[in-house]
Amino acid sequence: MGGVTVDGGTGGITAHCDDLRTLARRLGEVSADTLHSAWSLHGYLAQPVLLESALLDPVGFATFEADLLLALDGLHGLTPIGLRAAALDLELRAAATAYELADHLASDAILGAIELPIATQAASLALARTRDPLGAAEQVVALDPALADTIIDGLGVPGLLASGARSLPDGHGVARPLGADTGASTPPRRLTDVVADLDRRNADGHHGAVDVRILTLADGSRRAIVDITGTKSWSLGPTSDVTSLTTNGRALVGLRTAYEQGVLAAMRAAGVRRTDQVMLVGHSEGGMVAVTTARDAVTSGEFDVTHVVTAGSPVGLTVGQVPRQVQVLALENTRDVVPHLDGRANPDQRNVTTASGARGDGTVGGDHSVHDAYLPLAGDVQTSHDRSVHDFLTGADGFFRAERVVTQTYQVIRTY
């Protein structure tokens, strides 16, 4: 089993700071209420009716005054407690700010300014040594994934891809039914099953192949899993192949794509209901499309996408746009260069968990392959004890408890 590094999610920095601030807010309320209570109670010490009563029962009056003063201003009285709660509130807020500042200092944006010359030099040396651009990139990625983000962002790769893709007509995506997949009759029980199903569809000869699995649970409720396959065409020109580079460039920066239109059309055709919880699963380009589809389906209210699993997808520029109720698990092979094409680490958000590990066979293709890299990585992640991963899988439990599954397959094609 390989080691897994996890960023973001419910155990990430942002969630951590949210937790700190929630506690700080509660302490602030306790402090304010306690100090207000102490202030109000002080007023009773000099009430005229009490002062008058002192003449008739001076001992009883003195006993009461002493008790109340002790409760208010004694060593452990309300006033010092209120002040202590206020101090704790400030400490927690300061800690949250310090965590975020440290995280920000370690972010790509700051590192980019400092490390770009070093990163460029490292890439150049690797290129000179190997004379293989992809091989050099893989070496840098394997050595330091964050450095790869810095290089790619510094070279302006995401911007170039996006501007190129924007200038190409994307057409309109349609879903052509390929029929039921009777071979996929076993409901998934774990994350590896989900990725294995994606691998199976990915091996399909059809470019733009999409699975829509309708899962039925014992209580009659339904879930749907949609598998979205990755790039099969390297064409830059107009083509009916929806997996072409046009889709890559557009999806990389969060633009809607014909591929997304086709995925939504496939979901409608397969009978996915508004009340069905949906998990979108995508490899590479398919993962990018899964993210934009989740964003748009939830925003429009057409489908209840609750989970997204991406494998080897550069989603750093877009995954932050996904609504908070959608939980995203991004699997990234640290040796794979493709997840770094966005030049940006995935954001640390409560609903975005990035699980990274080293898998693959050391080749460019093998390190990006669902079968050779991401299926084993999914196994590593499945057995991870990390809190963010655990919470994601627990939240997705309904997708792993189905009694029946019916799988329809489609091919998304682009029309003009």
Partner 1 sequence: MSLLPDPADLRAIADRIAAHATGTRSRAHALGRATAESPWRGTAADVFGTSAAEVIGELRRAAARLDDAADALRRHADRIGEASALTLVEHEITHGVLSGAVGGALSLLGL
The residues that touch partner 1, with contacts defined as CB under 8 A, are 10, 15-16, 19-20, 22-23, 26-27, 29-30, 33-34, 37, 40-41, 44, 47, 49-50, 52-53, 56-57, 60-61, 63-64, 67-68, 70-71, 74, 76-78, 80-81, 84-85, 88, 92, 95, 387
Q: For residues 56 and 61, what is the distance between their CA atoms, to the nearest angstrom? A: 9
Cβ 327 vs Cβ 306: under 8 Å: yes
Q: Which is nearer to partner 1, 193 or 391 (CB)?
A: 391
Min CB(382)–partner 1 separation in Å: 22
Q: Which amino acid is at 181?
A: D
CB of residue 31 to partner 1, shortest distance in Å: 9
Beta strands in 110-182 (DSSP E): 172-180
Shorter beta-carbon distance to partner 1: residue 272 or 393: 393
C-alpha distances (whole Å) from 238 to each of 167, 292, 416 are: 11, 22, 9
H/E stretch holding 89 reads helix 78-105
Least separation in angstroms between residue 392's CB and partner 1 is 14
Instruction: Quote the CA–CA distance of 38 and 132 in Å, as a whole number.
Output: 74
- Cβ-based nearer residue to partner 1, 74 or 365: 74
Question: Which residues sit opposite 409 in a β-bridge?
Answer: 179, 211
Which is nearer to partner 1, 12 or 286 (by Cβ)?
12
Say if residues 214 and 222 touch (Cβ distance below 8 Å): yes
Query: Radius of gyration over alpha carbons of the chain, in Å?
Result: 28
User: End-to-end CA distance of the chain, in Å?
Assistant: 47
Q: Compare residues 30 and 217 and give the one whose CB is closer to partner 1.
A: 30
CB 324, min distance to partner 1, A: 16
Q: With the C-alpha atoms ordered 28, 30, 32, 38, is the resulting torsion angle positive or negative?
A: negative
* Strand partners for 415: 172
Least CB distance to partner 1 at residue 395 (A): 14
User: With respect to partner 1, which residue has the nearer C-beta, 52 or 361?
Assistant: 52
Query: Smaller CB distance to partner 1: residue 48 or 179?
Result: 48
Return the SS3 of 406: strand
State in angstroms the smallest separation of the CB of 56 from partner 1.
4
Q: What is the closest distance, in whole angstroms, from the C-beta atom of residue 390 to partner 1 in the complex?
A: 11
